[in-house]
Amino acid sequence: MAIYHLSVSNVSRASGSRATATLSYITGKRVHDERRGETYDYGRKERVLRVGTLLPEGAPAEFADPAVLFNAVELHETGRTARPAKKIVVALPREFTPRQRVQALEEYIRENLNADGYAATYAIHEDREGNNPHAHILVANRQIDPATGGWARLKQRMEYVLDEHGERVPLIDPKTGAQKTDKRGRRQWKRTSVSLNPLDRKAKLKALRESWAKTCNARLDETARIDHRSLEDQGSDLEPTIHEGYAARAIERAGGVSERCEANREIRRSNGLLTAIRTELGRIFDRLGELFAAKISQLRQRRTQPEPAREPNWRYYAGDARRQLEADRADHTAALRGKLTGARADVRSREEWWKSHGTEEHEAAKQIIDVARAASREARDANIFRRGSLRRKAEQVAGEQSARLRMAVPWLEDTTIPSDWEQANRFRMRTTKAIYDHDMKPRTDLVADLEQRLGQAERAEGEQISPEQVEDLARRMAERRTEAEKPKPTRTTDGNGPSTPEEAPREPQPRETPQKPEEARRKTKADLFAAIERKTREKTGEERQRRQEREQTLDDLWEMGQWNNPGHGFSR
């Protein structure tokens, strides 16, 4: 996946840097510094894939040689704290072909540096494993005048410091508290150095960052786009990763664990989990919206149809029953798949835990066995005069520790610790494996059971639903509908017992128009349909807005094994 990186730094004499030395480092070639009379050769030719120099309009032709170019700018800059060059480092997307890398770099340099009068040399690097493609761009920190072909005259100038009213700020003598004056009695004012170099301006640096993202995105697929903005500027609440650096990656390549790399892995797991949860919630809300819309459509269709005079036919609900059965199968399969993913993640998490912690039973068993091992080792290393007594002592200690081991780990089958040093070592290894297998068995058994159940569910989901199942569910749905529409019994005015509305019609009250029970029921249903439709529109509108912020799939994260707790899976 493409990542974004662009950093800008100064080649400054104040910090001991030289433009010629930096050129040797990025190109892997020998470069002679004419100003200091030194020669730099940093090697690293195995990492340099391509070197190129691009010049602005009006630049001398000899500047096409990068050694000539940066010797010229070093000779021109005479200050002790001069900054003859700037270095830009960019990450090249792995999706780029070698030709696309060169095209993107040269287009970026022409549009952002050559167009402003800067000459630059670039070098494309890779690490020894062929990963981490990136490029170094060394830029002469003084513009070239296209009219003369020489260096521009000014990079900075002195200006007066102004206060909030636009007035010059006086230069105060700390001893007298009065404004300083020169030898001729002229008053002195505060002045400051203002850079005329566009590369020193914050706006130009922001434009460089944005332009690199645009240049790369023009050649990348929509799914691999990069963004120059920080997570905070993007409005994201995800935690940003930290810079790892070459030293941290070298530790990882050597088989160690770097704190910076480990911190980044934890940040990525946390961000992935948060993104997955949001994505899954978006899917759930989408599904709810679809179900509400489908139910509204069904209710509208039923409302336009005349009410059945008799008990509803079960075939009327056959379609709903079939869809319900299909949805139940799909939900059951999805729930098992989520549980299986969580169970596998739990197994991996427990294995990682065992690498650094173990269990209480394991620690207790090791301590008990180590006591017997120490006694057997002492007997092994003793001289011939003490060996017999120490062996008897080792046998006694082994027996005592075996009894302690049976109490500490009662389920362990073999608890007899040998008194021989070699056999005790092998016994310790067997005991560790037995405790590990005992601790992992419930988790591995759960994974195997879920895999079997998931396979059965997937095969069942692919099978056709039988007509008997559809009929059985449709009949139960029809029965529930009939039961819900039965009129509730009421009590007659004389208190003799319950009666139906037909047996005891309600007398019309003043200012009330008598209504038939059927008409009153229809009015209530119409009101119910309208209320459900209104609430559905409100709900689906809100959830659709939230869904636009959650466009990453949960399945990718499950395949990456980012779940650390089976409780994160969705189950029914």
Answer for the pair 335, 284: CB distance below 8 angstroms, yes or no.
no
Query: What global pTM score does this model have?
Result: 0.43
Mean pLDDT, range 419-431, rounded to an integer = 89
pLDDT value for 220 = 85
Distance CA 87, CA 71 (A): 16
User: Do 486 and 479 form a contact (C-beta atoms < 8 A)?
Assistant: no
Residue 418, pLDDT above cutoff 80: yes
pLDDT for the residue numbered 496: 54
Please report which confidence band the pLDDT of residue 445 belongs to, taking 50, 70 and 90 as the band edges. very high
- Which of 445, 443, 457, 448 has the alpha carbon at shortest distance from 335? 457
Q: In a 10 Å sphere around its CB, with 0-12 CB exposed, 13-18 middle and 19+ buried, how is residue 32 labelled?
A: middle
User: Binning pLDDT at 50, 70 and 90, where does residue 11 land?
Assistant: very high
Cβ pair 557, 272 in contact under 8 A: yes
Cβ neighbourhood burial of 79 (10 Å; 0-12, 13-18, 19+): exposed
Q: How many helices (H) does the chain have, and how many strands (E)?
A: 13, 11
Most confident range (mean pLDDT) of 1-15, 218-232, 416-430 is 416-430
Amino acid at 178: A
3-state secondary structure 503-563: CCCCCCCCCCCCCCHHHHHHHHHHHHHHHHHHHHHHHHHHHHHHHCCCCCCHHHHHHHCCC
Cα(417)–Cα(420) distance, rounded to whole angstroms?
9
Q: How distant is the alpha carbon of residue 21 from its chain centre?
A: 38
Nearest CA to 339 among 522, 566, 141, 19? 566
Distance CA 287, CA 543 (A): 10
Report CA-CA distances (Å) from 235 to 53, 227, 229, 269, 360: 39, 13, 10, 20, 45
Most confident of 56-70, 228-242, 531-545: 56-70
Q: What is the pLDDT of residues 171-220, one digit of tens each?
A: 888 888 888 888 888 888 887 766 667 888 888 889 998 999 898 988 88
Which of 74-78, 212-216, 528-532, 561-565 has the lowest average pLDDT? 561-565
pLDDT tens sequence across 482-515:
777 777 665 554 555 554 444 444 444 444 444 4
Q: How confident is the model at residue 292 (pLDDT cuts 50, 70, 90)?
A: confident
**Most confidently modeled range among 271-275, 349-353, 567-571:** 349-353
**In the chain, what is the greatest distance between 2 CA atoms, to the nearest angstrom?**
124
Among 174-183, 216-225, 421-430, which is the least confidently predicted range?
A: 216-225
Q: Is the pLDDT of residue 129 over 80?
A: no
